[in-house]
Amino acid sequence: MIKIENLHASIDGQPILKGINLEVKPGEVHAIMGPNGSGKSTLASVLAGREEYEITEGSVTFEGKDLLDLGAEDRAREGIFLAFQYPVEIPGVSNINFLKTAINEIRKYRGEEPIPAKDFLKLVKEKSALVELDNSLASRSVNEGFSGGEKKRNEIFQMAMLEPKLSILDETDSGLDIDALRIVANGVNKLKSADNASIVITHYQRLLDYIVPDFVHVLYNGKIIKSGPKELALELEEKGYDWLKKDQVIEA
C-alpha cells in the first residue's frame, strides 16, 4: 500500500529524518515507537503533506502513486488520514460542516456525487456512536474547548467518517483515560479491514494490547533502528531504548 524508501527530510536545513525505509501492506498494522524527538511526528507530518519539511532524499509510493508529488488535500483524497498528536482548535468552524465539505471534496475527487444530506446525518450518527462521541461535540467548533481526550476521540470520529485506506495515528492514546483508550482502540479495530492499514505511533505497550500490531518499529534519531514482531513492544516497555541506542552507536 505504502512504500517509504530512504526518506530524508529536514526543516530549516536541519535534518530530522535520515533514511526511513518502511513498507505497509493492506490489512497490516504497524507500530512505531521511539524516544521523544526521534522524528515520529515528523514522519507522520511528511506523509500527510506538511509543506514546512523539505524532502532531501528518498521516495514514498502510495498505491503506485508518487505521494510526495501530491498536496496534503490530494493525499487525504487518495485515502491517507493523519490523527494528529496535537489537534488544532478551529473556533467558528463546525465539526460537522467541515466534515461534510471534506467528504464532498473527496467524493468529487473520485468522480462521485455529493453525499445526500440524509446519508450524511446517518453517517454522523453511526460513527459518533462508534467512538462514543457526544452528539453535541460533533456539531461544535472543531476541537474548540474540547478536553484532551475529547480531541483524540474527535480525531478517530473523523477517521471513521472519512474511511481512509491508510490511517496514521500519532499518539492517539496519550491523554486518554483507560475507558477512552478502550473506546478509541475499539473504534480503530472496528474500522480495520483487509483493504486498509494503519501506522500507530505510541509510547505505550498499553495501546498495543488493544490494537495488536503486526510489526513494531523503533525510530531513533531519524532512522528505524529496529523492527520486530509485536513482542518487541513488550521488550521495549521492559528495557527502554538504551540498549538499542548503544547498538546504534556501534553500527555507526
Partner 1 sequence: MSEIATMNVKEQFLSTFGVQDFHFDTEASKAARNEATKRIEGLEFPTSKTEYWKYTRINRIVKAEYKIAESTTTIDITPFLIEGMEKNVMVFVNGFYRADISTITSQEGVIACALSEAKEKHADLFNAYFSKYLPTDEIFANINTAFHQDGAFIHFAKKQKADQPIHILNLVEGDQIITNPRNLIIGEAFSEGKVVTSYHNLNGGKSFTNAVNECFAAENSYLEFNKLQEEDGTSFHIATDQVQQEKSGNFTINTFTFNGDIVRNNLNIAVAGENGYTSLNGFYLPKEKQLVDNHTRVDHLVPHCESHELYRGVIDDKATAVFNGKVMVHRDAQKTNAFQANNNVLLSDDATINSKPELEIYADDVKCSHGSTIGQLDEEAIFYLRARGLSEDSAIRLLLNAFAADVLEHVGIESFRQLIEEKIENGLKK
Ligand X SMILES: Nc1ncnc2c1ncn2[C@@H]1O[C@H](COP(=O)(O)OP(=O)(O)OP(=O)(O)O)[C@@H](O)[C@H]1O
Which residues of the shown chain bind Mg ion in the complex (CB under 5 A)? 40-41, 85
| DSSP assignment string, 209-221 | HHS--SEEEEEET
Q: Which is nearer to ligand X, 99 or 201 (CB)?
A: 201
Q: Which is nearer to partner 1, 158 or 202 (CB)?
A: 158
Q: Which is nearer to ligand X, 161 or 176 (CB)?
A: 176
Q: Directed axis angle between helix 178-191 and helix 148-162, to 10°? A: 10
Q: Is 17 helix (H, G, I), strand (E, B) or coil?
A: strand
Q: Which residue, among 246, 231, 215, has the nearest Cα to 32 in the 3D structure?
A: 215
Q: Which of 162, 169, 201, 224 binds partner 1 (CB under 8 A)?
A: 162
Separation CA 127–CA 74 (nearest Å): 23
Q: Which residues pair with 186 in a beta bridge?
A: none
- As measured in angstroms, the least distance from the Cβ of 3 to ligand X is 21
Q: Which residue, among 240, 231, 239, 230, has the nearest Cα to 30 in the 3D structure?
A: 230
- As measured in angstroms, the least distance from the Cβ of 90 to partner 1 is 5
Q: Which residue, among 96, 50, 100, 40, has the nearest Cα to 73 in the 3D structure?
A: 50
Residue 68 DSSP one-character state: G
Q: Which of 97, 147, 189, 193 binds partner 1 (CB under 8 A)?
A: 97
Separation CA 63–CA 60 (nearest Å): 10
For residue 136, the partner it binds in Mg ion, partner 1, ligand X, none, with Cβ less than 5 to 8 A by kind, is none
The closest residue (CB) to Mg ion is: 41
Which of positions 63-82 make contact with partner 1 (CB under 8 A)?
71-73, 75-77, 81-82
Q: Is 123 in the site for partner 1 (CB under 8 A)?
A: no
Q: Which is nearer to partner 1, 141 or 248 (CB)?
A: 141
Separation CA 19–CA 224 (nearest Å): 8
- As measured in angstroms, the least distance from the Cβ of 146 to partner 1 is 13
Phi-psi category of residue 205: left, alpha or beta, with phi > 0 → left and psi -120 to 50 → alpha: alpha
- As measured in angstroms, the least distance from the Cβ of 199 to Mg ion is 13
On the 0-12 / 13-18 / 19+ scale of CB atoms within 10 A, 63 is middle
Q: Is 91 in the site for partner 1 (CB under 8 A)?
A: yes
Q: Is 212 in the site for partner 1 (CB under 8 A)?
A: no
Q: Which positions touch ligand X (CB under 6 A)?
A: 11, 16, 34, 36-42, 52, 85
Q: Is 48 in the site for partner 1 (CB under 8 A)?
A: yes
Q: Which is nearer to Mg ion, 127 or 223 (CB)?
A: 223
Contacting positions for partner 1 (CB under 8 A): 48-51, 71-73, 75-77, 81-82, 84, 87-88, 90-93, 97-99, 101-103, 105-106, 109, 141-142, 158, 162
